[in-house]
Structure 1
């Protein structure tokens, strides 16, 4: 089946979707009119259900049509800002025989993409936009970046962007419609079947377009550059996901954000242990599906290898060389990642400080506060203080203490008390200047004493949680650290403690 035929079929199915919706609405209106003209009791229930289905369908389409795309991501760069990048893109556009974009935006994603604003049933282009991910530029060479940009410009040359926009909107409409019919399972099954058929056809078109665009990339950058770019994109996407989950997720904790987002990402990429870990992730077999918008990496690499090799002069420099000042560009893109409220409220700090404060706030502060509150509720204290929890353990009331912790939102699993107690003891060491969470790009942050020894309190916390007699030793140890008997963790002053 040719790409053109699949594209026509996709548009036909999209038109059929709206016909299907119109059929349900017309049937509902016709049945309502029939009941008004000639009332039949047996048809009332069916008319009500059909009318509710029609309302749900119309509402879903209205909501999709009103959905705003929002502001454009990243930072727009002009020819004056980035003359080399613009000249590169315009030269490549001439090579693939298409018009260059009207706007280039640097974005904080492992991605490069193009979009096209159109009018008159998508037949006339009114504006072109190119997105270039800064994390990609950190990892690709100039050769590889040129191949990627050639791929994206190939979408313009093949008019793929004009097909992509209506196909994407149809996809959104179908999914929203299926979701809106959750109260009408029979009708939902009909639209689910239709949505699957549409997605299989339209995504097959998208996959074929990607292979066509890869041919433009090879003509510009060569087989080796394009193949290596595809591998690096796969690798870098896994690295960015890990970085976002393990490090960027700490932004906002304690009122801080990282001062160097892309600097931190480069540090992670340069770490030997992470490189080995990411290499293993990148080597795992891909799970492919007929609903994927892109072909699998193996299929794309095989297709690239079959293309003719152009005669090129290699340029192995970093793709960041296409920017006038990579640090200035990184700072601008980083600023675009935060809302104006976040920029005003969150203080930029080094990664060392963010990890030190962020892990404490996320792991230790809550354990300290909740253990004090739970202990006070068990022993009937008038205010929350940490030693109340130790007293509850000393009295053998661990089960009650765990119950109070569950009431405060802790997960009811085996070893709950030991886990919370261990985190609270770590927090005491941090608050009294005995230990500090230390950044590691190789793995999770480590809690270290001043002499560099790693803090390991989980075993001791489990011993104390299980043995009331061990509380005396715990109190003596904390006294030596300077922890007062009436120590009240921060944030518990307003906590409610029921009267005994």
Structure 2
């Protein structure tokens, strides 16, 4: 089936969706009118079910129709801001015989994309936008970036974006409709089946359009540049996922945000040990689905290899050379990543400081608080001081302490007390300036003493948790660190009951 035929079928299915909605609404009106003419109990049940379902359908469509595009992501760059980038895009647009975008926006994503606002089901275009991810500029060469930009402009040349806007709108409408019918399982099942058929057809169109856009990219930059760009994008996307999950996710800890988002990503990409890990990750098999919007990497590479190789003048420079000042651009994009409130309330700090706060918040803070609270409950103390937990252990009441921790959310098949004690003791060392979490781009942060020796408390904590006699030695060790017997963790202070007055 050709792409054009699939596109026509997708539009036909979209029209059929609205016909289906109209049929349900018409049936509801029919039974409501019938009840007014000749009342029957069976008719009443059918009228109620259909009327409620019709209301849910209409509500879903109204909600979708009222959704606006919202604020555009990233940073708008004009020809005055980035003349080299704009010249490149305009030159490539001429080569694929299409109009250039009206806007170029730099975004904090491993992606390049184009969009087109349209009217009358895509017949009239009103505004074109191109989105270019800074992580791509960090990792691709000029040749490879030209291939990527040529691919995106190929979507314009092939009128993919004009078809895509109404098709995407229909996809959103169908998904919202199915979700809104959750209280009407039979009708939801009907629309769900219809939605799956629509998605399979429309996504097949999208996959074919991606291959067509790859052909434009090869004409512009050659097979090698486009193939290498696709491999690098796959690698960079994997690296960005690791980066956001393990590092950027710490934003907010200690009221901080990273001062150099893309500087950190550059450090991770250039870490030798991390490169080996990422190389293994990108080799993992990727499952494909008929609902995927893009063909698999292997399919795209095979299709590219079958295309003729044009003559090209290589340009192996970093794609960052397309920007006037990469540091200025990176800073502007980083500013766009935070809300106005975040920019004013979160301190911009080094990655070393952010990791120190972030790992403590994720690993230690809750353990220290929860251990103190559980100890207060077991021994009946009036304050959540840390030594209450150790007193519970000294009395042989570890089971009660463990139960209290599980009630606070510490769940695992194995006993959690030793794990919580270890993390709480780490927190005590950090709170009293004896240790710190050390940033590593190779893997997880390390807790080290001032002399660089790694802190290892798991075995000792397990001994304390299992042996009440070990508590005396623990108390002596804490005293040598300057930890008071009545030490109340800062995280537990807010949990104290307020005095009446």
TM-score range, shorter chain: over 0.9
Matched, 1:349 2:349: yes
CA contact (8 A) 1:381 1:497 kept: no
What is the deviation of 1:197? 0.7
Matched, 1:17 2:17: yes
Q: Distance in 2 between matches of 1:121 and 1:192?
A: 24
CA contact (8 A) 1:376 1:497 kept: no
Partner of 1:82: 82
CA contact (8 A) 2:368 2:491 kept: no
Matched, 1:463 2:458: no
What is the deviation of 1:479? 1.3
Partner of 1:62: 62
Tell me the secondary structure at the aligned position of residue 286 of structure 1: coil
Q: Distance in 1 between matches of 2:39 and 2:380?
A: 69
What is the deviation of 1:413? 4.1
Deviation per residue, 1:340-366 (Å, 9 max, x gap): 011111000000011012111222122
Partner of 2:426: 426
CA contact (8 A) 1:109 1:135 kept: yes
What is the deviation of 1:378? 1.2
Q: Distance in 2 between matches of 1:54 and 1:27?
A: 9
Tell me the secondary structure at the aligned position of residue 307 of structure 2: coil
What is the deviation of 1:117? 1.4
CA contact (8 A) 1:377 1:497 kept: no
Deviation per residue, 1:305-360 (Å, 9 max, x gap): 11111111100011000000000000000000000011111000000011012111
Matched, 1:324 2:324: yes
CA contact (8 A) 1:142 1:318 kept: yes
Q: Which runs of 5+ in 2 are unaligned?
A: none
Runs of 4+ residues deviating >6 angstroms: none
Tell me the secondary structure at the aligned position of residue 490 of structure 2: coil
What is the deviation of 1:468? 0.7
Q: Distance in 1 between matches of 2:267 and 2:352?
A: 12
CA contact (8 A) 1:116 1:126 kept: yes
CA contact (8 A) 1:252 1:346 kept: yes
Tell me the secondary structure at the aligned position of residue 362 of structure 2: helix
Partner of 1:416: 416
Alignment of 1:209-224 (within 5 A): 209-224=209-224
Q: Structure 2-normalised TM-score?
A: 0.98
Q: Distance in 2 between matches of 1:168 and 1:66?
A: 15
Matched, 1:45 2:45: yes
Tell me the secondary structure at the aligned position of residue 447 of structure 1: strand
Tell me the secondary structure at the aligned position of residue 72 of structure 2: coil
Q: Which runs of 5+ in 1 are unaligned?
A: none
Partner of 1:143: 143
Deviation per residue, 1:179-218 (Å, 9 max, x gap): 1111222111111111111111111110110000000000
CA spacing shift, 1:120–1:170, aligned 2, 3 Å: closer
Question: More deviation in 283-292 or 340-349?
Answer: 283-292
Q: Structure 1-normalised TM-score?
A: 0.98
Partner of 1:374: 374
CA contact (8 A) 2:386 2:489 kept: yes
Tell me the secondary structure at the aligned position of residue 192 of structure 1: helix
Partner of 1:280: 280
